[in-house]
Amino acid sequence: MRFRGNKQFASAVGLVLGLLCAVEAAKVNKHKPWIETTYHGIVTENDDKVLLDPPLIALDKDAPLRYAESFEVTLSEEGEICGFRIHGQNVPFEAVVLDKSTGEGVIRAKDKLDCELQKEHTFTIQAYDCGEGPDGTNMKKSHKATVHIQVNDINEYSPVFKEKSYKATVIEGKKYDSILKVEAVDADCSFQFSQICNYEIVTPDVPFTIDKDGFIKNTEKLSYGKERMYKLTVTAYDCGKNRASEDVLVKISIKPTCKPSWQGFNKRIEYEPGTGSLALFPSMHLETCDEPITSIRASIELETNHIGKGCDRDTYSEKSLHKLCGASSGTVELLPAPSSSANWTVGLPTDNGHDSDQVFEFNGTQAIKVPDGLVSTSLKEPFTISVWMRHGPGAHEKETILCNSDKTEMNRHHYSLYVHNCRLILLLRQDPSEAENYKPAEFHWKLDQVCDKEWHHYVLNVEFPTVSLFVDGSAFEPFLVTEDYPLHASKIETQLTIGACWQENSGHDNDTETVSEPTSGGSARMAQFFRGNLAGLMIRSGKLENKKVIDCLYTCKEGLDVQLPEEVASAVKVEFNPNQSSLTVEGDEIDAFDKVMQHISYLNSRQFPTPGIRHLRISTTVKCFSEESCVTVPDAEGYVMVLQPEEPKISLSGIDHFARSATEFESQEGVMLFPELRIVSTITREVEADPESEAVGGANDDPTVQEAVVSEEIMHNLDTCEVTVVGDELDGEHESLEVDMPPLQQHGLEMSSSNLGLVITGVNTMANYEQVLRLIHYKNWHTEALFDRKFKLVCSELNGRYISNDFRVEVNVIHTASPVEHANNAMVQPNFINPVHHASVDLPGHNLVNAHQASVVPSAATIVIVVCVSFLVFMIILGVFRIRAAHQRTMRDQENGKENEMDWDDSALTITVNPMETYEDQHSSEEEEEEEEESEDGEEEDDITSAESESSEDEENGEPEDQKGASRQQQLEWDDSTLTY
């Protein structure tokens, strides 16, 4: 038995050793625990249990056996988990393992949670297993999972009113839509429990009601005699039906019928142009209903945003305005009004609704090229760029205002001004230099004005490397300046464009598009189009604009003004904004305050202001000794109606038809086109008839009697006069229009010319323009084939707002010959009577032959002479008949009493009658050798005669429209008393 027992013991020991080996082989911890990557949980305030989705369970793929704390072998489930670990700062949660074998766990709140302090919590969690061996070494951790826990609110707070009490004052006899508003708040964090769902008036039997938003109004008209003050108790409920912890007291005072307001104020105030300053509130006073006040503050605002570029300004060209403001020369206008000499803006859409203010519209598809040579490309010296711009939010792409880029081969931008994301950016790339160093290349200004859809005036003073920006007269520094290397040396010419950047068609279709150029009609490759309005784009090189000039360019011609009476000057304070469109008046005495308000006036210094409405608003704040019963003065609104100014009628008159010899056209001085030009401007006024004369004559009973019309002459400035050729353009090879430059420069005027004519620009008086225009002369040094030339003169003011009549001048060329010498002196030189005070007459051409031809008369030509003399008499009679017929036509076209005179200059006129001309033409074959020179002269004269005859016949058929309406009081007459046949 003993042996047997030892054998059994040995078998048991072997079994244990086998199990130990098996455990030793399986005790290696190979796998990490596994959990979900994200958990979402909900926990309620004052509760610690968190509901997780999905549930917190960790899994482990290791063998189901492990060492316990002792060396005893035990059986266990697979994947035992020893714990969870939470990562994060001040996390008010803990994770607990419920079952190690299944890996099930739970998250609990460690402390009491408060939704009002924090609505959500986010942290990470990690599971770890029990490791290897009895001491748990080599413990493995799972990946970190994110846990989001939302704290649910409970309705633990009650509504609380923002104010301890509320006060309001109402006027008797009026039902209000809203008297005042009470407002309560709730500290709960959830939408349901933090919202106020209802207000309630607790006080019974009061004529007031309150809505769910807290607005109190009366249910019936209130009477000051019945009750002067109502005291209401109001409570509030949140959406969880919790009532306010404390009700609030509301006091509503009843005022008598007296209404605090501005009295004696006319809503419509008419302003007649040219009358100077107009008092806006001459009889106005503030009614405070006997309430004692401590101070008054009133703001008067004049709305002028809709007028022109922000207010009423002179609409002269920007170049003229620069001169008027004192800027020196050197200014180049890049967006001029279209004319014969400045035609690159012809195709751009313009804004015609602002009284001839030259505004150009860019819609993102149009741009213009500035002619070469107009602006110097050298920007090493100081220069100034100024522009008026109105720009909306726009897109996120660059929008170019001005750009100078390579004309061919490359697309380098040398300098440009553009808008990008409400930033104004100036790009200025330096020319190649010896030192290839970084230099400032881009200047950025982030401005609200760039994107507010209002007009603003921008001036950039560039003195490299410094750039100063003035917007509406205020200085701004760039918030960012970027640098770049200078451009590489290149001989490529540049192209200056407005509204986009010119770039070579190099295949960049994503950034460019083809558009039609307004000036040439061809296709241009453009990029970075501008969307908005531009006006007055100028470049001035060599000198910077000073602050005085900049302020002058921006200053409005209309605004508010006040002349303080001496007795109240110290009691009232008055402040203006920079452009005088608003002012603030402060004081503490009602009487003094009223006097100042009565002296506030509207002033428009333009001779011809823009008509229309300017809205007025008076906002008033009153402070009283007793705040409970202090008055509230409502805003007073009205408008200034600027009446239509009397439009001037600019009339040009003078000699409109005259003749000069060919030698004068070919001389150094040429022919003066407007030697007796007269410029007169008149306005027509309606004047009421004398009431006494009406009473005597019984005019009141006659409905056909109208008001008397009076025309009076006024003086004002002109800014443009343009002389254009009617008919064929000027041929620069043998004709020109010129003007004496010293008088032009003396008056500060400028002249530009083209093959269409010339344009004189600059703001100056009519008398000075008249003086300069009289000096315009026409020269033609090839008059053989010329019979006449026609010109048209038009003058205007305010950039074309007022335009004169078309004054047309026709000048005839008289081809002269030497005097005829006769043996018996029977043929003498005929002369014209000086036709001063005679109207224009269309004359047939003069065919004048050389004098020496008359001496060569064949003996067999007697009969021919008689025939020629008879023909000549017939032609003279026919000419006189034509002249008188033309005179009768012109007399029917008289209009407005204009005194256009025709002045014939016959100082060099010689008519020689050659009775043998026809005979010589018929016998030219017989005398070819002797008359070769005479025949050539005769052919030239025949050509002239033919041309002149055609012109005469054309004019005879019908008078041109340009001469209709010109009054002619005189008639041209022929004096044939000395004419020898």
Interval 397-415: pLDDT, tens: 899 999 988 887 777 888 8
Q: Above pLDDT 70, what percent of the chain?
A: 72
- Asked if the model's pLDDT at residue 521 lies above 80, the reply is no
Lookup result for tokens 């009700």: 247
In this structure, whether the domain defined by 261-306+569-642 belongs to CATH 3.30.1330 is answered with: no
Average pLDDT over residues 454-478: 90
User: What gap in Å lies between CA 892 and CA 653, rounded to an integer?
Assistant: 19
Give backbone dihedrals phi and psi of 913, rounded to 5 degrees, phi first.
-95, 120
Least confident of 125-129, 448-452, 481-485, 505-509: 505-509
Output 322 or 251, whichever has higher pLDDT: 251
Least confident of 11-20, 148-157, 267-276: 11-20
Output 899 or 269, whichever has higher pLDDT: 269
Quickly name the fold that domain 38-65+76-152 has. Answer: Immunoglobulin-like (2.60.40)
User: Does a cis peptide bond (omega within 30 degrees of 0) precede residue 960?
Assistant: no
Q: What was the pLDDT predicted at 864?
A: 63
Q: What was the pLDDT predicted at 773?
A: 94
- Asked if the model's pLDDT at residue 512 lies above 70, the reply is no
Least confident of 152-166, 373-387, 393-407: 373-387
Least confident of 605-614, 659-668, 865-874, 920-929: 920-929
- Asked if the model's pLDDT at residue 555 lies above 70, the reply is yes
In this structure, whether the domain defined by 318-504+525-554 belongs to CATH 2.60.120.200 is answered with: yes
Nearest to 383 by CA among 539, 594, 187, 226: 539
Given pLDDT bands bounded at 50, 70 and 90, which one contains residue 856? very low
Output 693 or 447, whichever has higher pLDDT: 447
Q: What was the pLDDT predicted at 407?
A: 82
Is the Cβ–Cβ distance between 149 and 41 less than 8 Å? Answer: yes
Is the Cβ–Cβ distance between 636 and 672 less than 8 Å? Answer: no
What 8-state DSSP symbol labels residue 767? H
Q: How many residues does the chain have?
A: 981
Least confident of 290-294, 501-505, 562-566, 574-578: 501-505
In this structure, whether the domain defined by 160-255 belongs to CATH 3.60.15.10 is answered with: no
Average pLDDT over residues 528-552: 87
User: What gap in Å lies between CA 647 and CA 273, rounded to an integer?
Assistant: 11
Average pLDDT over residues 293-310: 89
**Contacting residues for 742 by C-beta, under 8 A, at least 6 apart:** none
- Asked if the model's pLDDT at residue 640 lies above 90, the reply is yes
Q: How many angstroms separate the Cα of 690 from the Cα of each of 355, 695, 697, 709?
A: 36, 9, 11, 13
Is the Cβ–Cβ distance between 379 and 462 less than 8 Å? Answer: yes
Q: What was the pLDDT predicted at 515?
A: 42
Average pLDDT over residues 844-851: 35
Average pLDDT over residues 33-39: 85
Three-class SS string for 940-980? HHHHHHHHHHHHHHHHHHCCCHHHCCCCCCCCCCCCCCCCC
Average pLDDT over residues 686-691: 61
**pLDDT tens track for 882-916:** 676 655 555 544 443 433 444 444 444 444 444 44
Kindly state the tokens that stand for 471.
Answer: 């917007």
**pLDDT tens track for 756-775:** 899 998 899 999 999 999 99
3-state helix, strand, coil in the chain (%, to 5): 15, 35, 50
- Asked if the model's pLDDT at residue 878 lies above 50, the reply is yes
Nearest to 96 by CA among 50, 45, 136: 50
Is the Cβ–Cβ distance between 264 and 242 less than 8 Å? Answer: no
Average pLDDT over residues 305-318: 83
User: What gap in Å lies between CA 248 and CA 520, rounded to an integer?
Assistant: 77
Is the Cβ–Cβ distance between 457 and 471 less than 8 Å? Answer: yes
Q: What was the pLDDT predicted at 458?
A: 94
- Asked if the model's pLDDT at residue 451 lies above 80, the reply is yes
Lookup result for tokens 């859409």: 349
What 8-state DSSP symbol labels residue 605? -
Average pLDDT over residues 957-966: 40
Average pLDDT over residues 498-505: 82
Q: What was the pLDDT predicted at 585?
A: 93
- Highest mean pLDDT of the ranges 44-48, 84-88, 469-473: 469-473
Q: What was the pLDDT predicted at 518?
A: 47
Least confident of 17-26, 68-77, 707-716: 68-77
Name residue 561's amino acid: D
Q: What was the pLDDT predicted at 817?
A: 59
- Cβ-based neighbour number of residue 311 at 10 Å: 24
Average pLDDT over residues 588-613: 91
Average pLDDT over residues 705-718: 76
Average pLDDT over residues 787-812: 92
Q: What was the pLDDT predicted at 888?
A: 55
- Asked if the model's pLDDT at residue 698 lies above 50, the reply is no
Q: What was the pLDDT predicted at 433?
A: 65
- Asked if the model's pLDDT at residue 215 lies above 90, the reply is yes
Is the Cβ–Cβ distance between 893 and 959 less than 8 Å? Answer: yes
Output 5 or 615, whichever has higher pLDDT: 615
Output 113 or 736, whichever has higher pLDDT: 736
Average pLDDT over residues 556-568: 87
Q: Above pLDDT 90, what percent of the chain?
A: 26
**Chain Cα centroid distance, residue 638:** 27
Query: Which spans in 264-414 are helix H?
Result: 318-324
**pLDDT tens track for 910-941:** 444 444 443 334 444 344 444 444 444 444 44
- Asked if the model's pLDDT at residue 968 lies above 70, the reply is no
Give backbone dihedrals phi and psi of 831, rounded to 5 degrees, phi first.
-125, 150
- Asked if the model's pLDDT at residue 239 lies above 80, the reply is yes
Query: How high is the mean pLDDT of the chain?
Result: 76
